[in-house]
Amino acid sequence: MRWRIPGCVAFASCVILVTACSVGPDFSRPPQPHVERYVASDQSTFASPGHEQTLSPAVQMRDDWWTSFGCDAINMAVDEALTGNVTLERGQATLRRSEHLLRAGAGVFFPQVDAKADASRQRFSPLRNGIDAPASIFNLFTRSATISYTLDIWGGERRQVEALAAQAEAQRYALAATYLTLAANVVNAMIARAAYGDEIDATQEMIELVREQIHITEAQVAAGASAWSAVLSLQNELATLEASLPGLDQKRAESEHLLALLAGMYPEQRSAPKLSLREIALPGVLPQTLPSSLVRRRPDILQAEAVLHVASANIGVATAALFPQITLSASGGFESTVLHLLGNAGGQVWSVAAGVTAPIFYGGTLWFERKAAMDAYDESQAAYREVVLSAFAQVADTLRALEHDAQTVEAQTRAVQSAADALRLIKDAYLAGTVGYLPILVADGQYHQARIAWLQATAQRLQDTVALYAALGGGLVPGS
């Protein structure tokens, strides 16, 4: 028995087979870099007296990584920023727009249907058709529907929708990068604010010590035991310390204003209690991310990959424009000169059409547009590699910074301890009556200077820890 395939089924099958192909390259993710480590050394422990940091692959990066600093004030500041930041609002709106454009672009896969109704009054002259008859005036009412569909034979429309999807993905990763950058900026601003406050307190204590030294030295000058130049030297030191206070206070104010900006507030609307570095804990165990997985974690790298995907899809769009396009359409409706008779079978009209449009001569426009799309892909590929290299350099910088920070804090801790020991010994000698009170003030000033240097080193170490969390991509893995 021989089976006969109806012509319409055979035609539909051919259309499905033809439309299944898509010109242009199929996008494949760039390979992961074959790098075993970020820096030449394998150091995973950064130790300083009482504050050791260790990199551990067993520690997973948390979404709320900033909570590892154990500071409620930081947690509240980040929450304020994540809920009120204007840049985030703009990024979210841009993402929604990209997703809606994607849904709009996907409409090309469906037939386009239009309904139409017309009412007109016309004067018809039979002489146009060669008929010698008087003209007539009549009303014409029309109700019709039209359906059209463009066969995506070469896959150009599918590539266009693919590009829209990749654009939405790029915006999604850009938003994730904004979240990460925002959280890092807030934590850094809080650390800076605390450090400036502690440094102001230490400077004010030094100012009081120098003033006390001046009073004692003036008494010695009056007694003929010291020269007036000693007083002038101390007055110069006092003026230098007092001159440093406005600058420190300005920096602290700028950090507070930055926190208000990040939280979407005006500076006068945000007030925060005093914060000290003593309230911020240094994370002891840090996540250790393999270099090969960094490209699948960092939002900026994933965004660059999505942009590369867009460029790849655009090659297919430009290639499909070189080939013929087929459009199918059909329309049907009713016409009548009397409104209440509109819909009678006698006034029924319809048409079915198929059209082919093939580019013949465009002066090289379509060809060079495809060439430009290929160049754009090469450009995006180079930009992707640049982002990856910058990311690895950033991680390497932060790892070396943490190593050097630990060494600096260790040295500054020894300096503070030595200054404290010297101050204690001089105080014991003063109580024993072997030295005067002025050496105590001098030693106390040296102690405070050493403590200010220690505060600066500690703040830098905390901020470099924040930089490591940001360099590793934070805890949010888009698409996971």
In tens, the pLDDT along 263-283 reads 999 999 988 889 999 999 999
Residue 73 lies inside a defined structural domain of this protein: yes
Residue 357 lies inside a defined structural domain of this protein: no
Mean pLDDT of 355-360: 92
For 131-176, give the DSSP string: -----EEEEEEEEEEEEEEEE-SSSHHHHHHHHHHHHHHHHHHHHH
Secondary structure (3-state) at 472: coil
Does residue 367 carry a pLDDT above 80?
A: yes
Does residue 359 carry a pLDDT above 60?
A: yes
354 pairs with which residues across the strands? 328
At residue 21 the predicted structure's pLDDT band, cuts being 50, 70 and 90, is low
Residue 177 lies inside a defined structural domain of this protein: yes
At residue 10 the predicted structure's pLDDT band, cuts being 50, 70 and 90, is very low
Range of the domain at 400: 22-110+154-323+365-471
At 96, which CATH number? 1.20.1600.10
Residue 53: which of 285, 278, 397 has the closest Cα?
285
Residue 300 lies inside a defined structural domain of this protein: yes
Backbone angles phi, psi at 296, to 5 degrees: -100, 5
Burial label, 190 (beta-carbon count in 10 A; 0-12, 13-18, 19+)? buried
* Residue owning tokens 């999604």: 172
Residue 14 lies inside a defined structural domain of this protein: no
353 pairs with which residues across the strands? 329
Secondary structure (3-state) at 313: helix
Residue 416: which of 45, 54, 46, 48 has the closest Cα?
48
CA pair distance 282, 292, nearest whole angstrom: 27
Residue 340 lies inside a defined structural domain of this protein: no
Total structural domains within the chain: 1
End-to-end Cα distance, the chain: 55
Mean pLDDT of 352-359: 92
Per the structure block, which two tokens stand in for 171? 């915006």
- Residue 227 CB neighbours (<10 A): 12
CA pair distance 394, 401, nearest whole angstrom: 10
pTM of the entire structure? 0.85
Residue 461 lies inside a defined structural domain of this protein: yes
Helices (H), ranges, 59-146: 72-84, 86-105
Does residue 478 carry a pLDDT above 70?
A: no
Residue 329: which of 107, 146, 142 has the closest Cα?
146
Residue 7 lies inside a defined structural domain of this protein: no
Mean pLDDT (the chain, rounded): 89
Question: CA–CA distance from 176 to each of 109, 297, 413, 475 (Å)?
Answer: 31, 11, 38, 10
